[in-house]
């Protein structure tokens, strides 16, 4: 969405640096149009379709957050269901005290973010693989802890109060708008965070953590920020799920603390393209299509998604969006920079120059 | 007396947890692979055992070496193909690949065996037999056997790694892959053998768990992987005997928690895990300089 200022500058003799090879003002305008069109969906789309879209938007929000964690900060968490579940409960508790569930959404998001702080303190001692399992253990421990409280449903769950007065169609529309708002905010937050200082810091860490550290980059702080932002996003998504299902059910199979939530977000990111903002969007679409076509075959969609994700990780690690980007050099959300060779203009595409949007080319291997 | 009982039961359960944990620890120690599918593979071993016994009606004891051997082959093949391919691409790739594998296995088991719990039919009264110490403490022979098995496995691993030629080769490759390769060792094959050994212990863990209680498709992640990991962290990362100490501490914590209130059992174990993470993130058995 950055307007390239020097589009007309004569540049035969000097190097130029812009955000993107292409002019992104159009994608900015396109994004706004898309949001308006999506926002108008409740007026001309059936409720059943809207309900599916709500699921898709939840997965999209989660995937964007997981992408920020794993794709940009190298933090492979398999315990994001902890924040997803906490978000649902942080929505349920105010709702039980008379707050409208929609108004409680910010509480759910902030609550999950605050909970992330002490958890980070524990997790920051572990790296990569052990970090991954530790997040899982923590998610399990948090679930067991929450199930201790009978007043919020214990181990069996609780219906969400405060939404009984709504007409079902109106409620579906409100839920959809809330889900859309959360997803748009999540993607926008990731985009603007990565465009700013944090994006630069994360790139520096990814390229050489030691060098970054010795140049004064606060590595721990950057990771903490990413972890908290991801928790906020997952918490908001959990709140949406509570509103969508009109109940909060804990438990590892089918409940808000199921690891399947993390599996879904991770697979969507990997298939779409890890380390790009567009990847989770593409991945979520693939995920929803697969889920809807295979839903009558029980667990098969997760088996297929898992196999596809493994194959993509091994053989096309930049995912579907990476394949598109290699071919056409498109960036809807440029967070890095493009280095123009002397004399290169927008019309003449030189082979071999490639794109220099470095943060977006996150290397999974690092 | 109830507390003494809880501690004895906890120590015995710790043997099972050490069995869960040593494969995870070995894979990390040698290949630097954190296998997120660890627990699911143990569950698979349990299901293979159930399947073999149901199909051939062979005595339970015969099925153990068959399952261990089968899992060792699976381990070698998996290491040479999927895990090696992931390792070449970096640490995060191995995590993603093994997580994908975990979800594929779990949902595959769900698809083919349904979510029902299954027990490993031993067909012998050893499962239910027990002896008593004093008037209030009942100790199941099965728990004792599994505890002894865990110690035998750990002793075997210790002996193999420190005293045999191939064990030393594995350690050499783990220490410095390039140098070992220059001396003529094919590190991929060595990794494969190490994975085969690790998967053999995984098979024992899965079968032992299937004997003591029941397994379901989600057992691997809900229980085995998380307990194995908690035991590894409590005992100290990369320490073989640490897994036994970690397993015992975890088991005792769970039994004491259960003694307070049956619903505290799992939570108590995790609280100890978190406490160790706060106080001694390097684990209880490793010195600070090693972590």
B13 half-sphere exposure, CB direction, 13 A CA radius: 22
Asked if A314 and B85 come within 8 Å (Cβ–Cβ), the reply is yes
Asked if A129 and B99 come within 8 Å (Cβ–Cβ), the reply is no
Which residue in chain B is spatially nearest to A132 when comparing CA positions? Answer: B95
Which residue in chain B is spatially nearest to A365 when comparing CA positions? Answer: B90
The span from the CA of B100 to the CA of A302, in Å, is 9
Mean pLDDT of chain A: 85
Asked if A365 and B89 come within 8 Å (Cβ–Cβ), the reply is yes
Asked if A266 and B96 come within 8 Å (Cβ–Cβ), the reply is yes
Structure tokens belonging to residue B28:
């990390």
Mean pLDDT in residue range A297-302: 80
3-class state of residue A366 by DSSP? coil
Chain segment B238-256, per-residue pLDDT in tens: 788 889 999 999 999 999 9
**What pLDDT, on a 0 to 100 scale, did the predictor assign at position B123?**
62
pLDDT at position A21 over 90: no
Within A97-152, residue ranges assigned H as helices are 101-123, 128-146
The span from the CA of A24 to the CA of A334, in Å, is 8
pTM of structure: 0.88
The span from the CA of B134 to the CA of B152, in Å, is 28
Q: How many residues in chain B?
A: 291
**What pLDDT, on a 0 to 100 scale, did the predictor assign at position B239?**
80
Above pLDDT 90, what percent of chain A?
Answer: 50
Chain segment A103-147, per-residue pLDDT in tens: 999 999 999 999 999 999 989 878 778 888 899 999 999 999 999
Decide the pairing of beta strands A338-340 and A158-159.
unpaired
The span from the CA of A287 to the CA of A271, in Å, is 9
Contacts of B263 in chain A (CB under 8 A): 147-148
Contacts of B92 in chain A (CB under 8 A): 70, 74, 76, 128, 364-366
Structure tokens belonging to residue A125:
């001692």
Question: How crowded is residue A175: how many other Cβ atoms within 10 Å of its Cβ?
Answer: 26
Is residue B50 a contact partner of residue B32, using CB atoms and an 8 Å limit? no
- Alpha-carbon distances of A13 from A9, A10, A337, A342, A344, rounded to whole Å: 11, 8, 19, 5, 10
3-class state of residue B198 by DSSP? helix
**Residue B7 phi, psi (nearest 5):** -70, -40
Residues in chain B whose Cβ is within 8 Å of chain A = 28, 33-34, 36, 82, 85-86, 89-97, 99-101, 103-104, 107-108, 110-111, 115, 218, 221-222, 225-226, 229-230, 233, 237, 263, 266-267, 270-271, 273-274, 277-278, 281
List, in order of start, the domains of chain A with CATH numbers: 16-360 (1.10.3470)
The span from the CA of B219 to the CA of B36, in Å, is 13
The span from the CA of A35 to the CA of A92, in Å, is 28
Is residue B211 a contact partner of residue B98, using CB atoms and an 8 Å limit? no
**What pLDDT, on a 0 to 100 scale, did the predictor assign at position A345?**
67
Chain segment B24-51, per-residue pLDDT in tens: 999 988 888 889 999 999 999 999 999 8
The span from the CA of A321 to the CA of A269, in Å, is 10
The span from the CA of A299 to the CA of B285, in Å, is 42
**What pLDDT, on a 0 to 100 scale, did the predictor assign at position B124?**
62
- A118 in reach of chain B (CB within 8 A): no
Is residue A312 a contact partner of residue A321, using CB atoms and an 8 Å limit? no
Identify the helix (H) or strand (E) that includes residue A17.
strand A16-18
Structure tokens belonging to residue A316:
């096309």
- A185 in reach of chain B (CB within 8 A): no
Report residue A216's pLDDT band, with 50, 70 and 90 as the boundaries. confident
Contacts of A195 (CB under 8 A, 6+ apart): A2, A335
Contacts of A263 in chain B (CB under 8 A): 99, 103
- A132 in reach of chain B (CB within 8 A): yes
**What pLDDT, on a 0 to 100 scale, did the predictor assign at position B189?**
93
Which residue in chain A is spatially nearest to B37 when comparing CA positions? Answer: A133
**What pLDDT, on a 0 to 100 scale, did the predictor assign at position A154?**
85
Contacts of A299 in chain B (CB under 8 A): 107-108, 110-111
CA-wise closest residue to A145 among B269, B139, B125, B55: B269
Contacts of B115 (CB under 8 A, 6+ apart): A253, B216, B217, B218
Give A111 to chain B, closest Cα distance, Å: 21
Q: Is A285 exposed, middle or buried (0-12, 13-18, 19+ CB in 10 A)?
A: middle
Which A-chain residues 272-311 have CB contacts (< 8 A) with chain B? 298-300, 302-303, 305-307, 309-310
Asked if B218 and A252 come within 8 Å (Cβ–Cβ), the reply is yes
Domain ranges of chain B: 2-290
Give B103 to chain A, closest Cα distance, Å: 6
pLDDT at position A365 over 50: no
Asked if B36 and A140 come within 8 Å (Cβ–Cβ), the reply is no
Give A286 to chain B, closest Cα distance, Å: 17
CA-wise closest residue to A199 among A361, A11, A25: A361
CATH architecture group of domain B2-290: Orthogonal Bundle (1.10)
Residue A312's Cα: distance from chain center in Å? Answer: 19
pLDDT at position A355 over 60: no
The span from the CA of B252 to the CA of B246, in Å, is 10
**What pLDDT, on a 0 to 100 scale, did the predictor assign at position B127?**
65
Which residue in chain A is spatially nearest to B263 when comparing CA positions? Answer: A148
To test the contact with chain B by mutation, choose from A122, A128, A302, A306 the residue with the greatest count of B C-beta atoms within 10 A, namely A306
Asked if B90 and A365 come within 8 Å (Cβ–Cβ), the reply is yes
Contacts of A303 in chain B (CB under 8 A): 103-104, 107-108, 111
Report residue A22's pLDDT band, with 50, 70 and 90 as the boundaries. low
Is residue B46 a contact partner of residue B207, using CB atoms and an 8 Å limit? yes
Task: Spell out, as residue ranges, where chain B has pLDDT lower than 50.
Answer: 288-291
CA-wise closest residue to A72 among A192, A184, A200: A200
The span from the CA of B28 to the CA of A129, in Å, is 9
């Amino acid at each position: 969405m950055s307007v390239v200022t020097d589009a007309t500058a004569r540049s035969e003799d000097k190097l130029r640096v812009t955000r993107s090879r292409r002019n992104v003002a159009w994608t900015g305008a396109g994004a706004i149009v898309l949001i308006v069109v999506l926002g108008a969906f409740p007026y001309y789309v059936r409720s059943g379709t809207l309900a599916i879209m709500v699921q898709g938007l939840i997965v999209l929000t989660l995937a964007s957050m997981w992408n920020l964690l794993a794709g940009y900060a190298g933090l492979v968490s398999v315990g994001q269901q902890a924040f997803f579940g906490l978000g649902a409960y942080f929505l349920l508790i105010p709702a039980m005290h008379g707050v409208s569930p929609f108004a409680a959404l910010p509480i759910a998001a902030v609550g999950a973010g605050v909970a992330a702080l002490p958890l980070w303190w524990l997790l920051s001692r572990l790296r990569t693989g052990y970090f991954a399992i530790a997040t899982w253990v923590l998610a399990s421990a948090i679930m067991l802890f929450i199930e201790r409280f009978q007043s919020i449903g214990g181990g069996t769950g609780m219906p969400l109060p405060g939404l009984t007065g709504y007409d079902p169609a109106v409620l579906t529309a409100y839920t959809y708008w809330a889900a859309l708002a959360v997803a748009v905010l999540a993607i926008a937050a990731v985009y603007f965070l990565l465009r700013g200082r944090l994006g630069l810091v994360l790139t520096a860490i990814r390229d050489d953590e030691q060098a970054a550290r010795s140049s004064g980059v606060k590595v721990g702080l950057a990771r903490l920020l990413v972890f908290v932002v991801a928790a906020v996003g997952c918490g908001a998504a959990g709140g949406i799920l509570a509103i969508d299902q009109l109940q909060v059910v804990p438990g590892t199979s089918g409940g808000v603390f199921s690891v399947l939530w993390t599996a879904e977000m991770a697979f969507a990111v990997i298939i779409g393209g890890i380390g790009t903002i567009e990847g989770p969007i593409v991945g979520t679409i693939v995920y929803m299509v697969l889920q809807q076509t295979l839903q009558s075959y029980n667990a098969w969609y997760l088996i297929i998604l898992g196999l596809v994700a493994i194959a993509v990780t091994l053989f096309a690690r930049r995912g579907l969006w990476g394949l598109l980007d290699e071919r056409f050099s498109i960036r809807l959300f440029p967070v890095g920079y493009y280095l123009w060779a002397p004399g290169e203009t927008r019309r003449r595409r030189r082979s071999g120059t490639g794109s220099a949007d470095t943060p977006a080319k996150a290397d999974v291997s690092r | 007396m109830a507390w003494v009982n809880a501690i004895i039961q906890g120590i015995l359960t710790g043997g099972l947890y050490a069995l869960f944990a040593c494969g995870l620890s070995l894979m990390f120690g040698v290949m630097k692979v954190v296998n997120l599918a660890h627990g699911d593979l143990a569950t698979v071993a349990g299901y293979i055992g159930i399947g073999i016994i149901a199909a051939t009606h062979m005595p339970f004891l015969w099925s153990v070496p068959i399952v261990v051997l089968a899992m060792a082959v699976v381990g070698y093949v998996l290491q040479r193909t999927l895990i090696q391919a992931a390792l070449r691409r970096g640490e995060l790739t191995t995590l993603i690949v093994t997580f994908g594998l975990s979800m594929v296995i779990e949902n595959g088991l769900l698809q083919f065996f349904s979510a029902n719990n299954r027990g490993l039919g031993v067909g012998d009264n050893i499962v239910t037999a027990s002896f008593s110490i004093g008037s209030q403490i009942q100790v199941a022979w099965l728990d004792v056997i599994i505890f002894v098995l865990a110690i035998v496995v750990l002793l075997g691993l210790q002996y193999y790694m420190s005293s045999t030629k191939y064990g030393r080769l594995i350690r050499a490759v783990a220490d410095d892959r390039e140098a070992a390769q220059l001396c003529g060792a094919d590190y991929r094959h060595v990794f494969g053998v190490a994975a085969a050994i690790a998967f053999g212990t995984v098979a024992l863990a899965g079968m032992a768990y299937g004997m003591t209680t029941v397994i379901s498709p989600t057992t691997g992640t809900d229980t085995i992987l998380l307990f194995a990991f908690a035991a590894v962290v409590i005992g100290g990362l990369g320490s073989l005997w640490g897994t036994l100490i970690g397993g015992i501490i975890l088991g005792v914590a769970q039994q004491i928690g259960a003694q307070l209130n049956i619903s505290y059992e799992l939570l108590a174990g995790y609280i100890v895990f978190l406490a160790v993470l706060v106080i001694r993130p390097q684990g209880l058995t490793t010195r600070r300089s090693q972590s």
